[in-house]
Chains A and B, each alone.
Chain A
Amino acid sequence: MQRGSDPFDVERELRSSRPTARPELTRAIVARIQKDSRPSRVGMLRFAFACGLTAAMLLALAGFGGLGDIASAAKVTASTIEKAVNPPGPSKGKSGASVEPGPRLNAPGGGGSNSDVGLSSSASADQYGEQVIICHRPPGNPDNGHTLIIDEAAVATRLAHGDTLGACE
């Protein structure tokens, strides 16, 4: 369609004559969308609830020693790997002479066992610390001793009061 000096450019006309929605319609739809944004908040609350529930379960698990179990398993795994990589036993020095392994970390006697390097033997030990068996002797009646299992932190105090290590005979 030509209009002399004013050619009817179809593509330009299609773009410039593009129908536009009335502002009232736009406002109504936008308001509807904003009103419907509530489900997103519900979703967020659901997610927060799930996180809270997970945290509560972890706490409950910790109370029963589950976390200690996991920690113990991790330590045992680390110990196994350490043994595989660095097996205990005599090794040869540069001169060819046998060299004994030196004292390990936290090793009171310089030995090479797991307990020597501070590794606990059980999950409960990881969770609650080492327990020690003693023989409690009442001050007024030392012959009436009875066996107790106490935390290792309390051992020194007990010994100072006359108790002895190990079960009563």
Chain B
Amino acid sequence: MTPSFLRRDPLANPEVLIQRVYAYVAYRIGAGPDAEDVTSDVFERALRYRDRYDPSRGEPLAWLIGIARRRVGGALVASRPLSSEPPDATASGSLEEATVRRLTLAQALATLAQRDRELIALRYGADLTAAQIACIVGARTNAVEVGLHRALGRLRAELGDEEDAMVTRKAVRS
């Protein structure tokens, strides 16, 4: 049996892992304090169970995302509506536009079904491949790709509605 200190440490390069886990959590429940709490909790649990990490079953990120999925599930049960950081009041020009886009995206994401949001968070938040996602969710790679395609379609449709609403609001104000 290999001593635990000779095994590969899943938390050897934590900075990148923290960013990926946070992005995943934020796409699931919204950026902000709740996402930070869940991210901290994920790493706390990872530290507690780091000896149980098995490299043959996947990369450290996939292992952490597995923990994060369970924590997000718990957070959603006791949840509030999808939260997001408020826009910067002093933002202007392109920064303002980027902020508006981010908020628009967050609002559109909030309207998606949990399954769609999960796939998008895994693909674009945690930056996992379809094959890695398939391992995590227990589905075929092809099914994940199709699911992602449909989720993006629904997100585009939602963003189209948001855009129409924004144009209407601007017209009413002017």
Interface residues, chain A, with chain B CB atoms under 8 Å away: 1-3, 8, 10-11, 13-15, 17-22, 25-26, 28-30, 32-33, 36, 39-41, 43-44, 46-47
Contact = CB atoms under 8 A, between A and B. Distances in A.
Contact of A19 (B4, B26, B156, B159): B26
B40 A14 contact: no
Contact of B152 (A11, A28, A41): A11
A18 B47 CA distance: 25
Contacts of A17: 98, 101-102, 105
A1 B19 contact: no
A contact patch SS: helix
Interface of B: 3-5, 9, 11, 14-15, 18-19, 22-23, 26-27, 31, 35-36, 39-40, 43-44, 47, 98, 101-102, 105, 120, 124-125, 127, 152, 155-156, 159-160, 162-163
A29 B45 CA distance: 12
Given A25-B40, A32-B47, A8 B15 contact: no
Contacts of A22: 36
A44 B5 contact: yes
Given A25-B18, A39-B4, 5 more contacts: A2-B160, A15-B124, A19-B27, A21-B39, A40-B5
B40 to A, nearest CB: 6
B15 A26 contact: yes
A41 B127 CA distance: 33
B6 to A, nearest CB: 8
Nearest to A28: B40
A8 B4 CA distance: 49
A40 B163 CA distance: 54
A18 B23 contact: yes
Nearest to A30: B14
Contacts of B43: 29, 32-33
A43 B5 contact: yes
Contacts of A30: 14-15, 18
B15 A18 contact: no
A8 B3 CA distance: 52
B35 A19 contact: yes
B36 A25 contact: yes
Contacts of B156: 1, 10
B44 A19 contact: no
Given A30-B14, A32-B43, A33-B11, A8 B159 contact: yes
Given A19-B31, A25-B18, A29-B18, A1 B163 contact: yes
Contacts of B155: 10
Contacts of A21: 18-19, 22-23, 36, 39
A10 B102 CA distance: 11
Nearest to B120: A14
B101 A13 contact: yes
A20 B22 contact: yes
Nearest to A42: B5
Given A29-B43, A32-B44, A40 B159 contact: no
A18 B125 contact: yes
13 contacts: A8-B101, A10-B159, A14-B120, A17-B98, A19-B27, A20-B19, A21-B19, A21-B36, A21-B39, A22-B36, A29-B14, A29-B43, A32-B47
